[in-house]
Structure 1
C-alpha cells in the first residue's frame, strides 16, 4: 500500500502553523519516501509531521519557486554534513535542473570549506527529458508540462506528475493555470486529481482559481481534491461537487 501525506496544503505565502506550503510525501509499504517539492518551510512541516531531513532520500522538484524548491539548501547541507545520511536522489526536468543551480541554489551552496560545490555535491541528480518520466520504487511518474508563469517573454518550466499505483491513476498538477488544452486528457484519464487552486479575491492569473474550476464538468470535479490555497474562509467545495479542500496532514491511501 502507498500513502500520500500532505505536509502542507497552502499557498506560497501561507503564514503560521495552521498550514504550510503544499509539499507532500509519497510513502510506500516499505517506508520509502518521495518528497514531491521541497519548499522553504520544509524543516518546519517535516517537524510537525514527526519527521526530519533524515527521512528524505528522494525528492522531485516541479519548478523553481521558493515554496517548491527553497528548502533544498536545508536538505542539501543537512544531509551532506551528517554522517548518518547518504546523498538524496533528486529528480527534475532538465530545463528546471539547469536553472536550479545557476539561479536558485549556487549563491548559498557553491562554496563549502576547502572546495567549490555543484548540485551533484549534495544530490544524486537524475535529469528528465521534457515530457518524459522517471521511475521511483518501480512506479513510473510521467511529467506533465503545465503553464504556470508566462510573461510573454519566457515560460517558466513547470511540471505536474501523472502516475499509477495499483489500479489508481493519480494526477498532481503542481502549480498551474487552468489550460484545458494541456490538462484535459489527464483529467479524463485520472481516477484522482490533486488540483492547484487559489481562492483569493484578486486572482493572480498564474494559478487555477476556484471560480474557474467551478466551470469544469461534474465528472471531473467529482474526482478532484483542491490544494495550494491562500489562508481565509474556504468555499463549500463538496457542495460544488469537488471532493474537498486538502488539509495539512491529510493522508490518502492507495
Structure 2
C-alpha cells in the first residue's frame, strides 16, 4: 500500500496545497478528502480525475470537500469514466449535498440531479467503518468545530496496513483523552498541527502537541500546518513535518 500526501497544508496555505491524501492498493486509488486544490495537487503528481476510484470525506470544509464538484462533473461527462464511490458518515453526505454541492450540480438539461447522479454514495452510520481493498477503515470522531455549542461531524481514520496500525486525525483540536487509545495502539500517527502564531482554537497547535509524551511524539508525523517557517519538529521528538508529495509505503 502506498500513501501519498498530495498536499500537506492548512486551508489557506499559499504553497503546500490542501491536506488531502491518496492511498493506492491493487491498482485502485482512494482519495482521502478532495479539497479545492485537489485538481492541481493531483496534476503535479501525474494523476487526474480519471485515476480516482473512491473518495472519503472527513468533513465538509472546502479544503476537504471543495474539489468534489470538479471531480463529479469531470467523471460524469467523460464517457470513459464510471461513477466513483463517495464514502462518509451519513450526516456529512446529507449536508454536503444539501448545503454545498447541490447549488452547482443539481441542474442538468435532462434531470434534476442528486448525489447519486455523480457518485455511488456509501452512507456510514453507527458502525463507523468501511472496507476498501481488504483494508478496514474505522472512523474516529474528532473535535474540530462547533455550531452553537454542538459538535459538527468530522471524522479521522484508524486502519491497519500490512500489520502497521495507522491513525490519521484529519482536522481536530487537541483531544488527548479522546485519542489516547488510538495514540497507544498506533505504530504511526499523522496529526493535524497548526503552526501560526495565534492559535485558531479549532486545530491542535504545535505548542500543545509538543507537550505529548515522548513515546507518542516518536511515532507522529505532523501535517495540515500553516505557511511560513516551521519549528524543528525532529529536535522536539516528532518524526517531522510531512512534505507536499511525500509518500509512505506499507
TM-score range, shorter chain: over 0.9
Secondary structure in structure 2 of the residue aligned to 1:202: coil
Please state how far the C-alpha of 1:131 moved relative to its aligned partner. Answer: 5.4
Once the two structures are overlaid, the 10-residue window that deviates more, 213-222 or 122-131, is 122-131
1:24 equivalent in alignment to 2:24 = no
Q: CA deviation at 1:154?
A: 2.6
Which residue does the alignment assign to 2:168?
172
Q: For residues 56-101 of structure 1, give each alpha carbon's deviation from its aligned partner in whole angstroms, at most 9, with x where no partner exists.
A: 1100000000000000000000001100100000110011111010
Deviations 1:23-70 (A, max 9, x none): 010111x22111000001111111101110000110000000000000
**Is contact 1:39-1:72 (8 Å) kept?**
yes
Of 185-194 and 127-136, more deviation after overlay is shown by 127-136
Tell me what 1:183 maps to.
Answer: 179
Q: Aligned to 2:248, what secondary structure does the other structure show?
A: strand
1:117 to 103, 113, 121: 113
Larger mean CA deviation between 140-149 and 151-160 belongs to 151-160
Which structure 2 residue ranges, 5 or more long, are not aligned? Answer: none
Question: How far apart are the structure 2 equivalents of 1:130 and 1:243?
Answer: 33
Using the size of structure 1 for normalisation, the TM-score is 0.97
> Are 2:205 and 1:209 equivalent residues in the alignment?
yes
The residue aligned with 2:135 is 139
Note if contact 1:195-1:227 (Cα within 8 Å) is conserved in structure 2. yes
Could you tell me which residue of structure 2 aligns to residue 45 of structure 1? 41
Q: 1:131 touches 1:144 (CA, 8 Å); kept in 2?
A: no
Structure 1 runs of 4+ aligned residues shifted over 4 Å read: none
Residue 54, structure 1, aligned to residue 53, structure 2: no
Aligned mates of 2:108, 2:170 — CA distance in 1: 32
Rounded to whole Å, the distance in 2 between the matches of 1:172 and 1:131 is: 18
Question: Are 2:125 and 1:129 aligned?
Answer: yes
The count of residues paired between Structure 1 and Structure 2 equals 250
Cα distance between partner residues in 1 of 2:149 and 2:166: 32
SS of the residue 1:35 aligns to? strand
| Local SS of the residue matching 2:174 | coil
1:65 equivalent to 2:65? Answer: no
Unaligned runs of 5+ in 1: none
- Structure 2 SS opposite 1:85: coil
Aligned mate of 1:197, from 176, 190, 193: 193
TM-score by length of 2: 0.98
In structure 1, the residue corresponding to 2:151 is in which secondary structure? coil
Is 1:161 the counterpart of 2:157? The answer is yes
